[in-house]
Each structure stands twice: as C-alpha cells, then as structure tokens.
Amino acid sequence: MRVKRTAPGKVFLSGEYLALEGGSAIILSTKQRSSVSIENHDKPYNLFYSSALDQYFEFSVNNNFKVDWVENDPQSFGLFISLAICELKVKPSKALISIDTNEFYSKGKKIGLGSSASIASVIISALDEYFNLQLSESEKLQKALNIHALSQDNFGSGLDVIASYADCGVVECNLKMANELKWRSLKWPSDLYIKGVITSDQSSTKIMIEKYNHGKDSNQIFFKQLYSEINHLLNKISTAWDTQNSAKILELMGEYNTFIKQLNEKFNLGIFSDEHKRLIDLARSADIFYKPSGAGGGDLGLVITNSEKKLTYFLSTLSDSNFSIIDLR
C-alpha cells in the first residue's frame, strides 16, 4: 500500500503582522508544494526519509505514541512525524514515510514559502488515508493547526496552515475565521502579475515575532493607533480584491507598505534588509510594487504589478545580480 499527498506553500500578500491581532490577511498559495508519501516496505522497522537531508532515519513508536529515533535523530526535520503520530495516536509498522520539500529550497537554503505549514497540512492527510481514519475535513485541518502550533511554540497566527490546506489560490482569513476553520476564496485578477525574488539573507519568523511582541508591549499607545489605521486599510484591500481592481490593489498595498515601515522603525524589527531596500529602489525605478514576504528580514520578496512590460523591465535589471527569480503561481 502506498499513499501520497501534496500541499502548497504560501506567501502573505498583506496583513502578515496584523493577522496576529485578528486583522484580515490576503494569502496566496504557491505552485511550490511539499509532499508526504507513506508505503509498506520489507524491512522489520519504520523508516523516515527527508529530502532536505537526503537521508534515512530508523524509528519506532511506543505505546504512548512517542516516536523514538533508533540511531540518528533528524531533529527538526523529523518533528512533524513525531507530532502527527502523537496527535493522531497511530502506530506505523514496517512503514516508510518520506517528506519531500525540495521545491521550498534554492541553492541549499529555505526560501520562505511556509514549508512548515505545508508539511503540517499534508502529513495529517497522508496519515489519515494510510490508516483509514476517515477524519472529516474540519478534523484534519484542526489537527494540522494543532501540530503546527506545537512546532512553532504557539507563535504565529495559523493562517498559513489555512491557506495551505485550502489549496485554492488566494484566500482571505483572520483569527476569528481560522478558529472556526473557515476562509474566503478570492480570485486572482487577470491583469495582475507576481514574481518571487530570492535574497541571500535568511530570517527567523519566530525571532521576528518575538521582536514584534516586545515592540507592541513597549509602545502600546502607538500600536493601538497604528493598528486601527492598518485594520481600516486591510478592509479596503479586501474590497479591492472583491472588485478585481488591480490598480486599486496595488495602490492600497503601497499604503500598507508605508504603515509596515512605520511599524518596522518604531519596533526596530529589521523587516527591510539591505537587499530588500535595494529591491524596493529598483522596483520604484521600474514603477512597480515590491515588498518583503511574510515577516521580512530576508528570504523572499514579492514584486507585483499590473503591467507585464514593466515586470519584464524590472526583471532585466536583476539579470546581472545575485537575486534569483521564481514563479509563484
């Protein structure tokens, strides 16, 4: 018997930090996908294969559904197997579980497409099918949210898991909707274009959120006022998506970026790395929109425009740089 499931990565188009406070986020699920396959094999033990490490790891599961690594421990690369097996209370026997995240890496490093949320979504679905648990869709999503929260020490909003599990292009979601296991599907405007730009810097979402929480606690009056203004803007962005008005989407995202810059400066977050600043300048010269993806600080940036000609020109300015361009949809 063999089962295989896949799930997309994600990029936040707007609302990333404010989503932690209940604000609405617009999230794109990407063409890059992770996969989990589970199959029987002829060895008298369980094996885990990690594409990221290109290595096999032997493991057993005790009566408390705790995974024990027999020799080598894959550390964080095997975390979701441990969490999912415990969450579902299943005991694999003579099983080979493979996790493939190759599409979330470039030149040996992660590129910030939400691989953790993708794996959390897909491993629950794969184990559900392999063991014929017959969980409902809402049960599978809730369990994916549970193990992702545990993997992140309960940091983050969980909206990336919602987007990955929904797997329907563009979604709008907030904490209230996520708690109800709901989201709203949006349509991508036909005249809107997006590319990902991979920078050489790497960042830690957990560290960025810790800095954000510290800044919020230390600047409560400033944050309360800024949150009110950004939340109002996020509602306008949502309306622009509903009307498929690409020009308005870009205009409002530009305003959103201005607010994020204020947040960044006041909280000293480091969202805009030197490479992100350079890309913002290049994008401004090409008259198109650019923003760091997600928590920022490195990894991936997003260039978005409603002019294919301007996009082509911008990409040509990067031809002699160290930046790599990826398609996201």
303 DSSP β-pair partners: 195, 290
| First and final C-alpha spacing in the chain | 32
What would the pLDDT profile of 149-202 be if each residue is shown by its tens digit? 999 888 788 999 999 999 999 999 999 999 999 999 999 999 999 999 998 877
Average pLDDT, whole number, for the chain? 94
Distances in Å between the Cα of 87 and the Cα atoms of 165, 175, 287, 323 are 17, 22, 49, 40
Q: What is the pLDDT of residues 251-309, one digit of tens each?
A: 999 999 999 999 999 999 999 989 999 999 999 999 999 999 888 877 899 999 999 99
For residue range 10-61, list pLDDT tens digits in order.
999 999 888 999 999 999 999 999 999 999 998 899 999 999 999 999 999 9
Domains of the chain, start order: 2-186 (3.30.230.10), 193-326 (3.30.70.890)
Residue 160 is predicted with a pLDDT of 95
* 65 phi and psi angles, rounded to 5 deg: 60, 30
Q: Is the pTM of this model over 0.85?
A: yes
Q: How far apart are CA 24 and CA 256, in angstroms?
A: 13
